[in-house]
Amino acid sequence: MELIPFKQLVKDRFNRLSAGQKKVANYLIENLDEAAFKTAFQIGQQARVSETTVIRLSYALGFQGFSQMQELIQQQMLLQNQTAAAADSLPSADKHIFTKVIENQIDILRSLLDSANINEIWKAVEALIQADQILISGHRISHAAAYWFSYMLSSIRGQVHLCSTSGDFFEKFCNLTENSVVVVFSFPRYSNETMKIAECASKHGITLISITDRLLSPVGRISDIVLTTEENAETGTNSIASVISLLDLVMEGIQQKDKGRILAYQQKLEQLYTTFDVFNE
């Protein structure tokens, strides 16, 4: 079968899996490095299902059996480990606490270059370029990144709207069309408001892009396009730096593929800035 990222394969077929198979899928996604060399029986124990359920998951994902599924996982883990090898060669015993923070951020940022992430980023770029309107939402801890992204998008194209934290999504949603895009930001602890927004967009057939911490987060499971940043292994939180860096990649992709329209829009915007003395320069 075609060598596509295992995580993406699980995401694409997740809703069709049985309850037991979903337990296994969640375990595999969160523990790929361990699962790569465990038996089906051992994986079943960890996921609290039977060995048969693990094997049935491999069939449900399109593999000929468990061994073929595990072989794909091993190949992708090998590639991932080779990419990270350079970062692991530095001594760490006496490093300053701030140095550790920076190096951890570097590891997280490096993961953004995973082939699955790159494919999803280009999908997001294309969807955002083609959209007639873009509606962006993020609540609680996710609002800062949502605001930043809406501001940056508004500087290169029109019809970008940010939902306020007071709850005006449905009023703005009424103006969307089948060619619109909804972008939701959702990081732990996941906001119920954000989940309702995502469900509304999905139910009405509006393209849904989620910026979240993992592929199978609540919004990730129902999104058309999922962009993820890894969790800080030491603190268990998501860094705003990695989220903004991910969004920077999206912005760069849009600017590379839509140069003509962006230039015309920014020239018009600069005229307004100058006429009304917006900035103190």
Q: Is 123 a domain residue?
A: yes
> Quick one: 145 and 265 in the same domain?
yes
Helices 40-47 and 19-30, axial angle in degrees (round to 10)? 100
Separation between Cα atoms, residue 189 and residue 166, nearest integer Å: 19
CATH number at residue 257: 3.40.50.10490
Order of all β-strands in the sheet with 225-228: 160-162, 134-138, 181-186, 207-212, 225-228
> Quick one: 174 and 229 in the same domain?
yes
> Quick one: 266 and 131 in the same domain?
yes
Would you call 44 helix, strand, or coil by DSSP? helix
Count of domains for the chain? 2
> Quick one: 75 and 210 in the same domain?
no
Greater confidence, 231 or 267?
267
> Quick one: 65 and 144 in the same domain?
no
Q: Kindly give the pairing relationship between strand 160-162 and strand 134-138.
A: parallel
CATH number at residue 59: 1.10.10.10
C-alpha to C-alpha distances, 156 to 81, 113, 153, 175, nearest whole angstrom: 37, 24, 5, 21
> C-alpha angle with apex 185: 180 to 188, nearest 5 degrees?
155
Instruction: Please give the residue range of the domain that contains residue 68.
Output: 6-84
> Quick one: 121 and 260 in the same domain?
yes
> Quick one: 74 and 147 in the same domain?
no
In this prediction, residue 1 carries a pLDDT of 44
Question: Does this model's pTM top 0.95?
Answer: no
> Quick one: 52 and 173 in the same domain?
no
What is the H or E stretch that residue 182 is in? strand 181-186
Q: Is 27 a domain residue?
A: yes
Per-residue tokens: 62:
């399109």
> C-alpha angle with apex 254: 195 to 269, nearest 5 degrees?
100
Neighbour-count burial for 246-256, b at 16+ CB within 10 Å, e otherwise: bbebbbebbee
In the predicted model, what is the mean pLDDT of residues 178-201?
94
Looking at the predicted structure, is the pLDDT value of residue 95 above 60?
no
> Quick one: 52 and 131 in the same domain?
no
Model confidence band, residue 252 (pLDDT cutoffs 50, 70, 90): very high
Q: Is 101 a domain residue?
A: no
